[in-house]
Amino acid sequence: MADMPAPVTSAAEMAAQADAALQAAPVPSPCRNVCRMDAASGYCEGCLRTIEEIAGWSSASDEDKRRIWAQLPQRAAWLAGEEASP
């Protein structure tokens, strides 16, 4: 597990948000305006995306955005020590 502060939301909350985002059109951004990258994990402390995912969000297809959203609950669980590395 990375030595990072607890995610803004729990894995369960992130899963609920991801479920809603996976069905939304257009696909909403997971940004929480906590834009700080954690060097150990490589994830933003607010939205749990990588810098590449953040940079490419505006030009990503809805399919790619949904793929990213689908990964966020697992990342939250990993960072909380509830799951193996994603």
The pLDDT assigned to 8 comes to 53
Q: Where are the alpha helices (H) located in 1-86, listed in sequence order?
A: 11-23, 51-56, 62-79
**pLDDT by residue for the chain (86 residues), tens digit each?**
444 444 456 888 888 899 999 899 999 999 999 999 999 999 999 999 999 999 999 999 999 999 999 999 999 999 888 776 67
Provide the phi-psi class of 6: left if phi over 0, else alpha when psi is between -120 and 50, else beta. beta
Rounded CA-CA distance 44/8 in Å is 10
What is the spatial distance between Cα 57 and Cα 46, in angstroms, rounded to a whole number? 15
Give the pLDDT score at 12. 87
Q: How far apart are CA 32 and CA 57, in angstroms?
A: 14
Q: What is the pLDDT of residue 82?
A: 79
> What predicted TM-score, i.e. pTM, was given to this entire model?
0.83
Distance CA 6, CA 85 (A): 15
